Structure 1
C-alpha cells in the first residue's frame, strides 16, 4: 500500500499528485451546488406565491434553514462510519454526490413535498460526501506529511472557488429569472462533479476502496478516524489520566464557545440575506452602476481564469489515462464560461444594475482567499496567539461585524416606509465575520487533533460537529424572531443581540486563557 501511495507522487501538478486536483474539482462543484442552493433557500421560501416562492413567514423559513444546516453537520458523523465499515471512501463520495443531485432536482420542482424530499436528500448525501473526501486526501499524504498542509490549502481553495461561483451564478439566475433554474443549475454541476470523480477514481490506486475489496487484495483497511479534516496527530507519549481529562475539558470549552460563533455566523444565509433583500440599497446607476459592473465582471473572470489554468495542467497530465473524466470536466468549464459570458453581457446591456441580494454571500469566499495568506503568516510569526486568545479574537471580530449592521440600520423603524441603507454596512460585516472565521474555524480542528488522544480523535470530531450542528440550529431559531424583535424594538436591536453576545463570549474565553493554558498541559 505504501508503494501504491508513493506512485501517486510520480505524476504531479503544481508539486502535488494529480489526484488531489481531481478531488479539488469534485469538491468545487459540490460547494458550487451547496452554496448556490443555500443562497436561494430563505429568499425562495419568503417570496410571494406570485413571485414563484412559497410565501412563508420569515420565522418559518429561518427555522427550516436552521434545521437543514444542522442536518448538514450531523450526518457526516455517520457517513464516515458507513464508509469505513461498508462502502469505502470512493463509493461513499459517488453515492453521496448522486443523492445530492437528486435532492437539487427535487427542489427544482418547487412544491412543498419535493422541497422537503430535496432537503432530506441533501442532508443524507452530504453525510456520505463530506467526511470521505478529506479522508482520501489524508491517506494520500500519509507518507508525505510535509506536503499535507499545502494539500489542504489547495483543497480549501477549491471549496471557496465553488462557493464563490455557486452563490454568484445560482443566486443571479434564481433571483432574476427562475427559482427552478437556480436550484436546477446547482444540481447540474453536482452531477458533473460526480461523473468526473467516477470516471477518474482509478487515479487513486487502492485508496478508498471498500473494506471487502481491500481484504481481497490483502491490504489493511485504512482511515479509521472518520472525517480527517485536520493535520494528523503524531505518535504521542503516554500521559496521565488527569492530563487526558484536563485536555478533554479544554476541548469541551472550545466546543461550547463554537456554538456561540456559529449561531451568529450562520445568520449569513438567513437574517443577513433578508437584510440585503429588504433593507439594502442595491439599485446602482450612473458611475456607481458602471463601476460595479466592471468590478463584478473582474471578480468573476479572474478566479475562473486561474481555475481554468489549473484544469489545463491537470488535463495535460491525466487525459491519456482518464479521457472521459477530463472531457466531462472540460465540458463543465465550457458551460460555466458560457453562463458567465451571458451574465456579463446582460449586465452591461442595462443602464442601471440591481445587485442581487445573494451577491453579498460571495464576499466571505472572496475575503478568505484574500486574507488567509496573511493570517497564516501571522500564526507562524513570533506574534502568534494562543488558541484561547484566537477564539476570543474571532468572537470579538464577529460581534464587531454585527455592530456595523446595528449601526447602519438605526434609521429603520418598523411600520414606517422601509429605509434602504448603504451596501457598505453589509460589506463591512462580511469582512469582519470572515476575519473571525479565520481565527476560529481552522484553529478548532487543529486543537482538537492536538488535545485528544489518538484513539479518540474520530469520536471527538464527531462530538465537535454535533456542537456546530447545535450552533446552526440555534442560528435559525434565534433568526426566526427577527420580525418580532423588529416590531418590539428595531432591526438595529436585533443585530445588537448578535453584537453583544459574541463580544461577551469572546471576552469570557479570552479571560479564561490562564486556566485553559493549565488544562492543555503544554499543548500550544
Structure 2
C-alpha cells in the first residue's frame, strides 16, 4: 500500500496525532460538538414546549401541529446544506462558510430565548440558514484532511460522530433539564451560549488546516499540489461511466437513508411524547436512589472521557492556539458547574421525576460508549460492505421499535396517558444507536469516497436532502400517533416503524453484489 494513502493534509501541527488521527480532526470534533449541543438541546424541548399547557409556560399546541412544525423544521435543516455546499464550493470556501453559519445559528438561538411567536419563527429561520452553511462544509474539511488517507476515513468519521453525539448528549441533558425545571426559554438560551463558544474556538484555531477549506481563489496552489499526487489523479480522472455508476450508488444509499431517518427521528417526536405521557417517570425510595446513582455515572463518566480528549488536544495545540483552547476550557468549566448543580438538586429531593427529554441522552451515551469499538471494527478485516452496514442499521432500528411495540401492548386503545416501564425506552434506544452507528457515519464516509473532490460540498448537500425528507416523513408519521392509537392501539403505531425498516434493510442487503459492481473498486 502506498505511503500517500496515509498522508494527512494541513499544517505541521495538524499532522501531530491524537488517537491515531490528525489533531485538526479534534478541532472539528469540538466545533461540531457545541453545534450539536445547541441543535439537540433545542430539539429536545421544542415539541414538549409547544404541547405543554399555557399554565406551564408552553403554548398548548396539539401533538399533530407540534410534530408538523418539528418535521418541517428538521426537514429544512437538512435541505439548506445544498445551498451552503454550493456557496462554499464556488465562493466562500468551507472554513468561512462554517464560521458564518455558526454566527447565524448563534443569533437564531438568541432569538428563541424570547417568549414570542415572531422570535420563535425568526429563530427557526436563522437556524435553518446557518445550518445550511455549517453542516456540509465542516465534513468537507475532514475530506480535505484525509484526501490522501482514504483508508482512515471510516474511523475518522466515526470519531467525528462521537463528537456529534457528545454534544447531543450534553445538550439534551442540560437544555432539557433547565427547560423542564427552570423555564423553556432558559433552555433555548443555553443552547445559544455554547453555539457561540463553538464558533469562537473554530475561528481561532482554523489555521491548523493550512490551505484546506479556503475559498477557491485562495487555495489554487493547494489544489494544484493535491492534483500533482499520482494517486489523486487516478482517483479524480475516471471514465464517465465509472463516475456515473458511483453516483448511482450514492443515490441508492440516499434512498434507503430516507427510510432510516423517517423512523429514527421519532426520537424527537413521538418517542418524546411516549416518554412524557405514557411512561412511568416518577421514582421513589430505592428506585429513585438507583436512578440517581445511575444518572450520575451516566452523566459524569462520558463527561470525564470528553474532558480527557480535551486535555490531550491541549497538550498538542495549546502552544499555538492558546485563546481557542481557553475558550474550550471555559466551556467545559461551565458544563461541569451546571452538571454538579443538576445532580445536587436530584439528590436533595425525596422522589425523582425523570425529565421526559432525559431519554434522548441514551442515544448519545451509547454512541460515546460504542463508537470507538465500531471504529476499530470498520478498520479491521471484519469490515463489511456499505450495503451490509446500511442493512444492519435498518434492521437494528426496526428491532428497537419492536421492543416498544411489545412494551406498549398493555396500553388501552385510544389512551392519552399510561405508565409503562422505562425499560422499554432504554432498550429501544440501545438498538437504535447500534443501528445509527452502522449507517449514519458510514454514509458520510462513502459519499466522500464515491464523488470527485470538486463536487464534495454539493454532494454532501444532496445527501442531507435525503435525510431531510426522512425528517419530514418522521414529523408527518409521528403526528398520526393520536389517530392510529385511537383507531388501533399504541403497539400498532410502533409496529409500522418495526416492519418498514427491517424490510428495507433486507432489500438493501440483497442488493450487495449489484452495488459492489457499481462502486468500481471503492471500499
Asked if TM exceeds 0.5, the reply is: yes
Shift of residue 87, structure 1, vs aligned partner? 2.3
TM-score by length of 2: 0.89
Shift of residue 119, structure 1, vs aligned partner? 0.7
User: Which structure 1 residue ranges, 5 or more long, are not aligned?
Assistant: 225-231
Shift of residue 267, structure 1, vs aligned partner? 0.5
User: Which structure 2 residue ranges, 5 or more long, are not aligned?
Assistant: 1-6
Residue of 39, 42, 46 corresponding to 1:37: 42
Alpha-carbon distance in 2 for matches of 1:23, 1:361: 23
Provide the residue aligned with 1:480 in structure 2.
Answer: 479
Residues 345-371 of structure 1 show CA distances to partners (whole Å, capped at 9, x for unaligned) of 111111211111111111111222223
Assess, with a 3 A threshold, how the Cα gap between structure 1 residues 223 and 268 changes in structure 2: closer, same or farther: farther
Provide the residue aligned with 2:291 in structure 1.
Answer: 292
1:132 aligns with 2:126: no
Shift of residue 476, structure 1, vs aligned partner? 0.6
The DSSP-based 3-state class of the residue aligned with 2:235 is coil
**Are 1:196 and 1:326, in contact at CA under 8 Å, matched by a contact in 2?**
yes
1:368 aligns with 2:373: no
Provide the residue aligned with 2:463 in structure 1.
Answer: 464
Q: Equivalent residues in 2 for 1:185-334 (5 A)?
A: 185-214=190-219, 220=223, 235=235, 238-239=238-239, 241=241, 245-334=244-333
Which stretch of the first structure deviates more once superposed, 264-273 or 301-310? 301-310
Root-mean-square deviation (Å): 2.9
Provide the residue aligned with 2:493 in structure 1.
Answer: 494
**Are 1:92 and 1:132, in contact at CA under 8 Å, matched by a contact in 2?**
yes
**Are 2:85 and 2:458, in contact at CA under 8 Å, matched by a contact in 1?**
no
Assess, with a 3 A threshold, how the Cα gap between structure 1 residues 144 and 213 changes in structure 2: closer, same or farther: same
**Are 2:108 and 2:122, in contact at CA under 8 Å, matched by a contact in 1?**
yes
Assess, with a 3 A threshold, how the Cα gap between structure 1 residues 324 and 425 changes in structure 2: closer, same or farther: same
Assess, with a 3 A threshold, how the Cα gap between structure 1 residues 297 and 3 changes in structure 2: closer, same or farther: closer
Q: How many residues in Structure 1 have an aligned counterpart in Structure 2?
A: 513
Residue of 168, 175, 178 corresponding to 2:173: 168
Q: Equivalent residues in 2 for 1:418-429 (5 A)?
A: 418-429=417-428
The DSSP-based 3-state class of the residue aligned with 2:58 is coil
Provide the residue aligned with 1:55 in structure 2.
Answer: 60
Residues 158-204 of structure 1 show CA distances to partners (whole Å, capped at 9, x for unaligned) of 21211111111111111111101111110011111112222333343
Which stretch of the first structure deviates more once superposed, 146-155 or 403-412? 146-155
Provide the residue aligned with 2:163 in structure 1.
Answer: 158
Alpha-carbon distance in 2 for matches of 1:144, 1:248: 21
The DSSP-based 3-state class of the residue aligned with 1:207 is coil
Shift of residue 446, structure 1, vs aligned partner? 4.0
**Are 1:233 and 1:449, in contact at CA under 8 Å, matched by a contact in 2?**
no
Provide the residue aligned with 1:228 in structure 2.
Answer: none
Which stretch of the first structure deviates more once superposed, 23-32 or 310-319? 310-319
**Are 1:211 and 1:221, in contact at CA under 8 Å, matched by a contact in 2?**
no
1:387 aligns with 2:377: no
Assess, with a 3 A threshold, how the Cα gap between structure 1 residues 17 and 456 changes in structure 2: closer, same or farther: closer
The DSSP-based 3-state class of the residue aligned with 2:10 is helix
Assess, with a 3 A threshold, how the Cα gap between structure 1 residues 142 and 95 changes in structure 2: closer, same or farther: same
**Are 1:164 and 1:366, in contact at CA under 8 Å, matched by a contact in 2?**
yes
Assess, with a 3 A threshold, how the Cα gap between structure 1 residues 327 and 463 changes in structure 2: closer, same or farther: closer
Shift of residue 67, structure 1, vs aligned partner? 0.9
Assess, with a 3 A threshold, how the Cα gap between structure 1 residues 134 and 111 changes in structure 2: closer, same or farther: same
Shift of residue 35, structure 1, vs aligned partner? 0.9
The DSSP-based 3-state class of the residue aligned with 1:55 is coil
Residues 239-286 of structure 1 show CA distances to partners (whole Å, capped at 9, x for unaligned) of 573x55555444433222221111111111100000000001111111
**Are 1:283 and 1:353, in contact at CA under 8 Å, matched by a contact in 2?**
yes
Shift of residue 73, structure 1, vs aligned partner? 1.2
Provide the residue aligned with 2:69 in structure 1.
Answer: 64
**Are 2:86 and 2:457, in contact at CA under 8 Å, matched by a contact in 1?**
no
